[in-house]
Amino acid sequence: MVTNVTNFSRSGLYDWMAQRVSAVILAVYTLFLLGYLFFGSDLTYADWHGLYSSTGMRVFSLLALVALSVHAWVGMWTISTDYLTPMALGKLATVVRFLFQAACGIAMFAFFVWGVQILWGI
């Protein structure tokens, strides 16, 4: 049996809801950027800089970064607990799953910090 030690919460419903809400946030962010790209006339570096220099866009982008992190963590946890099982990997399944989740968590944290540095360094 797989334990819930490393999932986002102790509730599958909460994880499901977190992933759906994060997907909506990411979809809205993507649609906004596509609209800005397609409806902007001859966008220059100054236009993009102006967009991302505004506090509203920085907050929206930070929200999108958090949503991406939550979405990725729930998806990664679900995949690792579904496929890295004792039936598939034998006695080392728990160790392999933990190492996989730790590596993904470290990578996601590093990407999040990097994104915040890029976003707030403008």
Known binding-site positions for heme: 71
Known binding-site positions: 71, 83
Known binding-site positions for a ubiquinone: 83
Residue 43 main-chain phi, psi, to 5 deg: -65, 135
